[in-house]
Amino acid sequence: MEKEKLFEKLKEKHPQTILGSADRFGALEIQVDRNAIADVVRTLRDDAELAFNVLVDLVSIDYSAYPGWTGERFGLAYLFKSLTLGHRAQLKVAVPEGEPVVPTLSGLYANSDWLEREAYDQMGIRFTRHPNLKRILNHHEFVGHPLRKDYPITKRQWLSANESLMDEMEVRLKEKGYE
């Protein structure tokens, strides 16, 4: 599907929440209202003409060090691909520093569970209704978010006690039939 047609289709279905688009290095980038991201993504996935069946990646961005930047401090870029139709799209949402909260996509794409946990851990962006939003790369006692531009890169933090991962393990075991 042509990029312009894809944008027009989404704009027609979500006129209030599609905020704009851009061609970035040959890829379609669509700006979406952060509170409506799940509805727009559901359309991308479920519409037969779009059929975006893969969430390739979720990238968190701290714009605070960008020269001349006047928008929100944080952003998220969702990268999608349709394996059946071969097209790609990128959705971007602006996330305010005072309320870094975005709806989860974990009910739509299974891999968003871990991708959102990484964005939470590294940048401090929270995802509402996420099934298990906790740190994934840093230990549970870690203070701060290391990918924020204002995090001191020489800061060291020691772990005093290991965190049990049994909450996740028990869910997996029950899914496999173990009690």
Domain ranges within the chain, ordered by starting residue: 3-138
The model's pLDDT over 76-116, given as tens digits with 9 standing for 90+, comes to 999 999 999 999 999 999 999 999 999 999 999 999 999 99
* pLDDT tens-digit map of 132-165: 999 989 988 999 999 999 999 888 888 888 887 7
Q: What does pTM read for this prediction?
A: 0.89
Buried b (16+ CB within 10 A) or exposed e, 119-152: bbbbbbbebeebeebebbeeeeeeeebbbbeeee
Class level of CATH domain 3-138:
alpha beta
**CA dist 91 to 37, 67, 156, Å?**
8, 23, 35
Please give the pLDDT value at position 169: 85
